Amino acid sequence: MQRNWIGRSEGLEFAFDIEGSADTLRVFTTRPDTLMGVTFLSIAAEHPLAVRAAEGDADLAAFIAELKHGGVSEAELETQVKRGRDTGLRALHPVTGEALPIFVANFVLMNYGTGAVMAVPGHDQRDWEFARAYQLPIRMVVVPDNVRDALDAIGRHGAESSAMGSALSGGGSMELYDTNAAVQVVREFEHRVADESAYTERGVLVNSGEFDGMDYQQAFDALAARFEAQGRGVRRVNFRLRDWGVSRQRYWGCPIPVIYCGQCGAVPVPEDQLPVVLPEDVQLMGTGSPIKADPQWRVTSCPQCGGAAERETDTFDTFMESSWYYARYTSPGAADMVDARADHWLPVDQYIGGIEHAILHLLYFRFYHKLLRDEGLVRSDEPARNLLTQGMVIAETFYREDAGGAKEWINPADVDIQRDARGHVVGALLKSDGQPVHIGGVEKMSKSKNNGVDPQAMVDRYGADTVRLFSMFAAPPEQSLEWNEAGVEGMSRFLRRFWREVTTHVGQPDHPPVDKAALSPAQATLRRQLHETIRKVGDDYGRRHSFNTAIAALMELLNHVSKFIDMSDQGRAVRHEALETMVLLLNPVTPHVSHALWQALGHGETLIEDVPFPQPDASALVRDMLTLAVQVNGRLRGTIQAAPDAARTAIEAAALAEPHVARFLEGLTIRKVIVVPGKIVNIVAG
């Protein structure tokens, strides 16, 4: 996304001569392989040739003036109707010498490349739309492999392609053998380009004279060498960095330090007057910016001429400020922006943000940091070591349509939802009148769709820990989280069950410490399951950031603890270790419940926040026996038990002797036995 925003493109810049003039028109293109398909040229309204052509053409001058007030964003350029005016000038094709019309077009920008575009309507969608609107020729000079193969087949049979030199190029008729499959392939392709859309993929050159049969790179290199030798062109890398709108029409935010003077124009606020401070005695009206409506703050004098002037009343976007103040936070009280403490704390260990931050914050966050680095204020190259792009919270939407067909979005809290046995929404009624509402599908929570859920309502009903637990469990952090109240209820049941296990255990007699040497097989198994969970949860929290799988592992461990009914001294000791450790493992997600249960387990003098995170006991993780799956020709047919250090021959023998496995081997010849230690045995037989 950042690469696309920066807009780096490699291409060729070269010149078209202007008919009857010593001037040239330079263009930049990333697709020089389409040069032989140029049928006109487009230039920006601000281009010098456009300005000169408009001097004697009132209609063209009016059109250029109109374009100067149009939008220049990528979205606007893509969606607007393609419009233009013929300048009356003609450019000469640099290879064929053909005279080509030059148009002023509303989709060409002066600040990208040279402000001029060679128009190839057969292979560029904007040019295609423009050519269709103004009845300009569409030439096909690049085709996919299957069309090239069809043309080769036609050529071998002495026939000629139709529009590869006819209808699309402005003349001729289609004289092909309709029974020929190759002809049909060509016709279908020509029809698509003539009537549906441009072919914008790379392919093989046709109708390109000496360049016929070349692919993109071959044509690029050949044309670059030609124009460089003639002194008419060079290879070039261009950038089209999109605009970042940093201003906001609101009170809160950093005032933009610019003053507008009728005589001097836009003047930066002098450095000794920085920072510009927001007025505190403002009238918040609910609409509009209060500082714009405050003449005492807004009206000032020009720093250059001293005349009457006004301050900029927009404030900076918060992304703008958070692109640098993380560095300042490392150096409180420093006389300069940062001091040596910044190099101790930076780069940031972990950045977490939504996908909407990928450009309008992360890109400029990185830009600012590199600026700080280049100014010698910090030594690190990047501001953060790791990035986690979190998913969105999505929820069901509901609406009704008014008499005009406009949708009125209804909040899920105002709707009674009907679900099937699997929990899918099958109907919905508005609570206030009991009448049906339309189901709009699941979308990102937003004000526009009115599908936001008030967290406070969930907290009041289930408690903050339950809501936190559901949010962590419902989806991996990088994926979208679908809000489902049934899921919140499920997390509430889990916490209540865990609470009962701990409080029931607390009511039992005291127990001695865990004696590893005295544990029964069942006690050792539960302790192994506990320390496997410690290892997994620690890794999921710290390295993988996979909170949902960590919680799932704790839920599975609770199932094991619930089924463990050993009331002996060591049984209670292992159970205590398991419950106490679970409280510590859950604490980052459910701090309130964990705090209360930690106290209940007898730790009244120690805050749970001061206890180190649990670490797995390596000795507890050792298994006496392993369960190995046994497959026959890739399909699971049974399982066997084997010691971790069992010999390969013993494992093979046990697998072949397993009754279910033996049944599927009857009448077959064993060709190979593959043993993956500790995991699986695969028997290949036939």
The domains located in the chain, with CATH, are 2-134 (3.90.740.10), 247-316 (no CATH), 319-390 (no CATH), 394-453 (2.20.28.290), 485-621 (1.10.730.10), 626-685 (3.10.20.590)
Q: What is the pLDDT of residue 469?
A: 96
Distance (Å, rounded) from C-alpha 113 to C-alpha 109?
8
Give the other-Cβ count within 10 Å of 317's Cβ: 20
Q: What is the pLDDT of residue 163?
A: 41
Residue 177 pLDDT level (bands cut at 50, 70, 90)? very low
Q: What is the pLDDT of residue 423?
A: 73
pTM: 0.63
Higher-confidence residue of 189 and 153: namely 189
Q: What is the mean pLDDT of residues 171-193?
A: 63
Lowest mean pLDDT among 66-80, 391-405, 516-530: 66-80
> Is residue 592 over pLDDT 60?
yes
Residue 72 pLDDT level (bands cut at 50, 70, 90)? low
Q: What is the pLDDT of residue 79?
A: 58
Lowest mean pLDDT among 214-218, 424-428, 505-509, 520-524: 424-428
Reduce the secondary structure of 77-95 to three states and give it as a string: HHHCCCCEEEEEEEEECCC
User: Alpha helices, DSSP H only, in 507-568?
Assistant: 521-539, 547-563
Q: What is the mean pLDDT of residues 152-179?
A: 44
Q: Of 268, 275, 274, 277, whose CA–CA distance to 302 is shortest?
A: 268
Q: What is the pLDDT of residue 240?
A: 79
> Is residue 158 over pLDDT 70?
no
At which residue do the structure tokens 């799988």 appear? 549
Burial class (CB in 10 A: 0-12, 13-18, 19+), 348: middle
> Is residue 600 over pLDDT 90?
yes
Distance (Å, rounded) from C-alpha 204 to C-alpha 211?
10
Q: What percent of the chain has pLDDT over 70?
A: 94
Higher-confidence residue of 611 and 626: namely 611
Higher-confidence residue of 7 and 594: namely 594
Over the stretch 7-31, which tens digit does the pLDDT of each residue have? 888 999 999 999 999 999 999 999 9
For the record, the structure tokens of 385 come out as 């070591």
Higher-confidence residue of 93 and 69: namely 93
What is the pairing mode between strands 626-632 and 299-301?
Answer: unpaired
Q: What is the pLDDT of residue 159?
A: 43
Distance (Å, rounded) from C-alpha 516 to C-alpha 503?
25
Over the stretch 394-419, which tens digit does the pLDDT of each residue have? 888 999 998 888 999 999 889 998 88
Over the stretch 275-320, which tens digit does the pLDDT of each residue have? 899 998 888 877 778 888 888 899 999 999 999 999 999 999 888 8
Helix (H, G, I), strand (E, B) or coil at 157: coil
List C-alpha distances in Å: 412 to 271, 396, 455, 461: 52, 7, 13, 16
Over the stretch 457-504, which tens digit does the pLDDT of each residue have? 889 999 999 999 999 999 888 888 888 888 899 999 999 999 999 999
Supply the DSSP string of 44-79, one letter for each residue: -TTSHHHHHHHTT-HHHHHHHHHHTTS--SHHHHHH
Q: What is the pLDDT of residue 607?
A: 93
At which residue do the structure tokens 């030798």 appear? 229
State the amino acid at position 219 in one-letter form: A
Distance (Å, rounded) from C-alpha 3 to C-alpha 359?
9
CB contact at 8 A, 193 and 140 = yes
Q: What is the mean pLDDT of residues 58-80?
A: 73
What is the pairing mode between strands 9-18 and 84-92?
Answer: antiparallel
At which residue do the structure tokens 């209808």 appear? 167
Residue 161 pLDDT level (bands cut at 50, 70, 90)? very low
Q: What is the mean pLDDT of residues 244-268?
A: 91
End-to-end CA distance of the chain: 52
The chain-wide mean pLDDT, for the chain, equals 89
Q: What is the pLDDT of residue 17?
A: 95
Q: At a CB cut-off of 8 Å and minimum separation 6, what does 226 contact?
A: none
Q: What is the pLDDT of residue 302?
A: 96
CA angle, 153 then 156 then 161, to 5°: 65
> Is residue 172 over pLDDT 80?
no
Q: What is the pLDDT of residue 497?
A: 97
At which residue do the structure tokens 């206030």 appear? 432
For the record, the structure tokens of 412 come out as 């899920």
Q: What is the mean pLDDT of residues 378-391?
A: 93
> Is residue 221 over pLDDT 70?
yes
Distance (Å, rounded) from C-alpha 503 to C-alpha 571?
17
State the amino acid at position 336 in one-letter form: D
> Is residue 190 over pLDDT 90?
no
CA 78 to chain centre: 21
Distance (Å, rounded) from C-alpha 370 to C-alpha 387?
17
Q: What is the pLDDT of residue 235?
A: 94
Distance (Å, rounded) from C-alpha 205 to C-alpha 215?
6
CA 305 to chain centre: 48
